[in-house]
């Protein structure tokens, strides 16, 4: 069988092996969605069979045993070329996702959030600590791709607290669409935002400063959605 290269990265939390390690898989033969599914199935296997035990070798063996099945599915699902249709291209949508996490401490997760948002052309911000907040905005498809990657990582709790969707002027690929996207953005680029970290572990942010930040961006109503109180 032809050799298949797979990159498997592993980050060990301090509680390992009581909790699973953070495992990331990369394979050029698989689409992003299939890599996500492979990661999900691997985590399910480790959760059922290896929780509480040293499990990295088990993870490697599972990938060896199952990778070819995913590659075969990928080849079978490859779309056949279609003739271009004269029908109009679909209208694009601009989305903004407000994501809530119980906490964001892990440096690998924080790095992934920054890199993936840049890769997908998304603007917004992430606030590490407890709680953790992430806002991404851009093309609907890019936001959904970002969420599909983030949600399969190991979290105590993560959810989309609120979402905003706006139809864009023009059609997919139009210059007017690009202009319309930029006009909808409330953030310039993507940044990790820190608001006077405090607490024993430096993991709590000044919520008053967060409110002022959101207010400057025209998003002050989001504060109440996250915390159930009006900001000042």
CA distance 167 to 95: 9
Q: Which tops the pLDDT comparison, 68 or 218?
A: 218
Share of the chain above pLDDT 90, in %: 38
User: Can you give the pLDDT at residue 30?
Assistant: 78
> Is 209's pLDDT higher than 80?
yes
* Higher-confidence position of 204 and 82: 204
d(Cα 65, Cα 59) in Å, to the nearest integer? 10
pLDDT for res 174: 54
**Separation of alpha carbons 26 and 9, rounded Å:** 9
Q: What is the pLDDT of residue 3?
A: 67
Residue 231 reports pLDDT greater than 90: no
Reply yes or no on whether the pLDDT at 177 is more than 80.
no
The pLDDT of residue 17 = 79
Q: Is the predicted pLDDT of residue 137 greater than 90, yes or no? A: yes
* pLDDT tens sequence across 74-132: 666 656 556 555 555 567 899 999 999 999 999 999 999 999 999 999 999 999 999 99
In the chain, at which residue ranges do the beta strands (DSSP E only) sit?
Answer: 6-11, 22-27, 93-101, 123-127, 132-139, 158-167, 190-192
pLDDT (0 to 100) of residue 168: 83
pLDDT digits (tens, 9 = 90+) for 181-199: 888 999 999 999 998 887 7
Q: How confident is the model at residue 1 (pLDDT cuts 50, 70, 90)?
A: very low
Q: pLDDT over 70 for what percent of the chain?
A: 83
Q: Supply 143's token pair.
A: 């936001």
Q: pLDDT tens-digit profile of 25-43?
A: 788 777 778 888 888 888 8
| Mean pLDDT calculated for residue range 206-226 | 90
What is the DSSP code string of 34-85?
A: HHHHHHHHHHHHHHHHTTTS--HHHHHHHHHHHHHHHHHHHHHTPPPP-PPP
Q: What are phi and psi of 25, to 5 degrees?
A: -115, 140
Average pLDDT over all residues of the chain: 83
């Amino acid at each position: 069988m032809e050799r298949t290269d797979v990159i498997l990265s592993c980050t060990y939390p301090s509680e390992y092996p009581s909790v699973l390690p953070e495992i990331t898989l990369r394979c050029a033969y698989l689409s992003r969605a299939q890599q996500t599914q492979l990661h999900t199935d691997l985590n399910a296997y480790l959760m059922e069979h290896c929780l509480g035990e040293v499990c990295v070798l088990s993870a490697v063996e599972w990938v060896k045993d199952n990778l070819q099945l995913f590659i075969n599915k990928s080849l079978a699902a490859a779309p056949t070329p279609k003739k271009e249709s004269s029908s109009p291209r679909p209208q694009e949508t601009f989305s903004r996702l407000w994501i809530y996490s119980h906490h964001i401490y892990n440096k690998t997760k924080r790095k992934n959030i920054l890199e993936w948002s840049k890769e997908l052309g998304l603007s917004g911000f992430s606030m590490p600590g407890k709680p953790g907040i992430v806002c991404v905005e851009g093309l609907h498809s890019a936001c959904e791709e970002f969420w599909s990657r983030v949600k399969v990582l190991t979290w105590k709790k993560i959810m989309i607290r609120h979402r905003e969707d706006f139809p864009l002027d023009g059609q997919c690929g139009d210059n007017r669409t690009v202009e319309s996207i930029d006009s909808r953005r409330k953030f310039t680029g993507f940044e990790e935002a820190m608001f006077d970290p405090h607490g024993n572990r430096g993991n709590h942010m000044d919520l008053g400063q967060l409110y002022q930040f959101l207010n400057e961006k025209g998003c002050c109503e989001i504060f109440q959605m996250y915390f159930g109180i009006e900001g000042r």
